[in-house]
Amino acid sequence: MIRLVQRDLGLAVRAGGGFGLGLAFFLILSVLVPFGVGPESGVLARIAPGILWVGALLACLLSLDRVFALDHEDGSLDLLATAPIPMEGVVIAKAVAHWIATGLPLTLSAAPLGFLLNLPASAFPWLILSLFAGTPALSMIGTFGAALTVGIKRGGLLLSLLVLPLYVPTLIFGAEAARRGAEGADASTPLLMLVGITLGCVAVLPFAASGALRVNLR
């Protein structure tokens, strides 16, 4: 599994599998928002948690269609299906690689981008904690969606339509945790809900994704 994660990370860096693309999208969104809503610091501070979370969510979507598509095209996925590693392990390795290549850089870059949106200083710890807790769920849900659409040509739009409704609870609790932190309120409840969503995704979705892969490989 570790070698599979390393292989996917190498492909993400060399083949443009979302490592820089997601960060570029996140940066562009954060820069353009003040031009669209105006430079008023109060307005930007109020909407900054939601904007940063929406940006992270959409940035994760950009590379989801590559999670299994390249392996399916070159036949590697068939070899992985017959390897000693269970398909659930393959799914987890793919999700971990996607999170390291996409979710982790987005989390680390959220604090600098928060300055562009006048995010209050009290919100930065909660924003980073919420992204650390929530982006693994985004990667796991996205890997499940990629497994459902792996055999479909040009299935990127369908993948987005399948995954976006499943992202909504993570978005709600993640943005709420950052918003409460910005207001100086206790954000532990939405953060715990976010952790629960991530743990539930990790516990259930590898089995669902591996079942979808087995169906698509028949």
C-alpha 151/C-alpha 73 separation (Å) is 9
d(CA 190, CA 143): 24
Average pLDDT for residues 138-165, to the nearest whole number?
85
Position 193 scores a pLDDT of: 95
Please give the residue that has the higher pLDDT: either 138 or 156.
138
**What share of the chain has pLDDT > 90, as a percent?**
30
pTM of whole model > 0.85?
yes
Dist CA 210 CA 80 (whole Å): 11
Q: How far is the C-alpha of 126 from the C-alpha of 12, rounded, in Å? A: 29
Least confident residue range of 82-91, 116-125, 153-162: 153-162
pLDDT higher than 90, residue 72:
no
Q: Which residue has the higher pLDDT, 188 or 12?
A: 188
What pLDDT is recorded for position 181? 87
Structure confidence at residue 7 (pLDDT)? 72
Question: Which has more confidence, 66 or 120?
Answer: 120
pLDDT at 151 over 80: no
Least reliable range by pLDDT among 27-36, 113-122, 153-162: 153-162
| Least confident window among 35-39, 52-56, 186-190, 197-201 | 35-39
Q: What is the pLDDT of residue 18?
A: 56
Q: Where are the domains of the chain?
A: 2-216
Q: How many CB atoms lie within 10 A of CB 58?
A: 16
What lies within 8 Å, CB to CB, of 189 at 6+ separation is: none
Summarised one tens digit per residue, pLDDT across range 75-111 is 777 777 777 788 888 899 999 989 998 889 899 988 8
Please, which pLDDT band fits residue 115 given cuts at 50, 70 and 90?
confident
Minimum mean pLDDT range among 44-48, 117-121, 155-159, 194-198 = 155-159
